[in-house]
Amino acid sequence: MYYVFRHFCLMDPMRLIGVILYSQWIFDVLAYYKLPLNGTPTASLSSTYSDFYDADNAIDNQKNLLQLINGSCSRTFYKNETAWLRINLTDAYSIKSVKLFYRNDSGISTSSLQGYYIRVTNSSDSSLWNESQVCYRDPGNKTLPVINEQECHREGQYVWILNDDATDEDTPYVHLEICEVEIKGCEVNKFGENCTPCGESCKVCNIIEGCTHCSGNLTGPKCEDCSPGYWKENDSCQICPKWDIGYNCSGNCSGICNANQTCFNGTGECASQTVLIGKTCNESCTNNTYGQECMQNCRRSCGESEACHHGNRSCTNGCINGMKGNQCNESNSGKDHDQTEKGNSLSLAPAAIGAGISVLVMFILIGSLILFYKRKLNSKNPIQKERTNQKRNTPLPKTPSVTRQSQRYQYEQPINVQEDSRQYERLDNAV
């Protein structure tokens, strides 16, 4: 920064003046014009507080005189339900912005401006107002600065600053005290800071973007280029040849629509409209799908990752072993894989039913064999069978009742030693 300042200080005075003037010219050229460009504007008020606050004070270019006492401000009567200031630009213009310079007296706020809005029309008749003419509306929820500039992208001859939103709860009345209005923009059908023409073929010229709607088959901010699907020949736009699409017919849609289908010239739409997420054939599907809105699956016979082309279903990574063809729907044996897949899918349900029946029959047979085997074992073991029958036929013994007296008698009975020895002898002889 020091070296820049030092360079300017050491510069020849005449050259320095030239640099300053040139810089000022650059800034003026790259700015939107103050309107109107031709003629003298006029101003009107919905009501006038007095002749001292005439409407023309708002367009006298006195931007530094912002006090009522200076006699350079406009002012409406203070008892109005609607107050407005109207600027007549003498001709229709493409407007970029509107800047207001409000009253700046000591101790006076801009509260009376809150809730205001800007309207642009081609007529001075207020009965023809509609909401589409409004380019800005203040929300009215905060105090506004004295200098207030708003974007206002409209075309028209009359610019209105209005207020019908009373901020004071004690009174329904509104008023305006505007000292200066500055409107910037371009002539109609021009755009940008240097007001570049949109072109004779432009139907809608945006003050910022340029032409947004061209006539015929033209496009671009100046309507100098051909629309997609056309190419320029002899200063006119001609439709692209077959299969060519895009700007200047630089693209090609051959082979990307479904088999044996063509694409519309220029747009790239497939004739059958069996396409993808959009309408053009050059959009891609994911997750191994293809077709309209990518709702169909690629063939399982495709090679790696089972990927296929989004439009014609051709396999992009070759085929699995044993299959061939662009869509991998032909086996090396010559059979059509489509018929094979169809036959497999049709035979899948009967096969599943047959398998279920076979399993059920198998369980029944195994159960029957187990029961038969148990019965056969029982029939070959008569001892076990006899014991089983005895257990089934033998009644349970009755338990005799025993009294305390009988128990005592039994315990007190003497032991017969002789009888016991005889029993032992008989047992020894038997042995």
Q: What is the pLDDT of residues 363-398, one digit of tens each?
A: 888 877 787 777 766 665 555 555 555 555 555 555
Angle between helical axes of 337-379 and 382-393 (0-180°, round to 10): 70
Of the ranges 162-166, 203-207, 334-338, 362-366, the best mean pLDDT one: 203-207
- In this predicted structure, the answer to whether residue 420 has a pLDDT above a threshold of 70 is no
Q: What is the pLDDT of residue 205?
A: 93
Q: What is the pLDDT of residue 410?
A: 46
The band of 264, judged by pLDDT with boundaries at 50, 70 and 90, is low
Across 62-76, 194-208, 231-245, least confident range: 231-245
- In this predicted structure, the answer to whether residue 96 has a pLDDT above a threshold of 60 is yes
Specify whether the CB–CB gap between 219 and 225 falls below 8 A.
yes
Q: Which class for 157: exposed (0-12), middle (13-18), buried (19 or more C-beta within 10 A)? A: middle
Higher pLDDT, 371 or 323: 323
Residue 226's Cα: distance from chain center in Å?
30
- In this predicted structure, the answer to whether residue 275 has a pLDDT above a threshold of 50 is no
Q: Which class for 63: exposed (0-12), middle (13-18), buried (19 or more C-beta within 10 A)? A: middle
Q: What is the DSSP string of 357-391?
A: HHHHHHHHHHHHHHHHHHHHHHHT-HHHHHHHHHH
Nearest to 375 by CA among 364, 383, 385: 385
The band of 317, judged by pLDDT with boundaries at 50, 70 and 90, is confident
**For residues 169 and 173, what is the distance between their CA atoms, to the nearest angstrom?**
10
Are β-strands 296-297 and 83-102 bridged in parallel, bridged antiparallel, or unpaired? unpaired
Higher pLDDT, 53 or 5: 53
Task: Give the mean pLDDT of 107-120.
Answer: 90
**For residues 50 and 164, what is the distance between their CA atoms, to the nearest angstrom?**
21
Q: Which class for 253: exposed (0-12), middle (13-18), buried (19 or more C-beta within 10 A)? A: buried
**For residues 247 and 227, what is the distance between their CA atoms, to the nearest angstrom?**
6
Across 6-15, 17-26, 77-86, 277-286, least confident range: 17-26
| 142: helix, strand or coil | coil
Q: What is the pLDDT of residue 190?
A: 95
Of the ranges 15-29, 207-221, 301-315, 378-392, the best mean pLDDT one: 207-221
Specify whether the CB–CB gap between 311 and 270 falls below 8 A.
yes
Q: What is the pLDDT of residue 12?
A: 58
Q: Which helix (H) or strand (E) covers residue 296, if one does?
A: strand 296-297
- In this predicted structure, the answer to whether residue 217 has a pLDDT above a threshold of 90 is no
Q: What is the pLDDT of residue 99?
A: 97
The pTM for the full model equals 0.54
The band of 327, judged by pLDDT with boundaries at 50, 70 and 90, is confident
Task: Give the mean pLDDT of 5-34.
Answer: 55
Across 99-103, 112-116, 155-159, 406-410, least confident range: 406-410
Name the token pair of 260: 């044996």
- In this predicted structure, the answer to whether residue 411 has a pLDDT above a threshold of 80 is no
Q: What is the pLDDT of residue 136?
A: 97
Of the ranges 161-175, 212-226, 360-374, the best mean pLDDT one: 212-226
Nearest to 140 by CA among 101, 174, 97, 178: 174
Listed in sequence order, the residues at least 6 apart from 423 whose beta carbon sits closer than 8 Å to its beta carbon are: none
Q: For the chain, give every residue range classified as CATH 2.60.120.260.
A: 33-188
Listed in sequence order, the residues at least 6 apart from 321 whose beta carbon sits closer than 8 Å to its beta carbon are: none
Specify whether the CB–CB gap between 95 and 161 falls below 8 A.
no
**For residues 34 and 181, what is the distance between their CA atoms, to the nearest angstrom?**
11
| Percent of the chain predicted with pLDDT > 90 | 32
What is the CATH superfamily name and number for domain 33-188? Answer: Galactose-binding domain-like (2.60.120.260)
Q: What is the pLDDT of residue 273?
A: 44
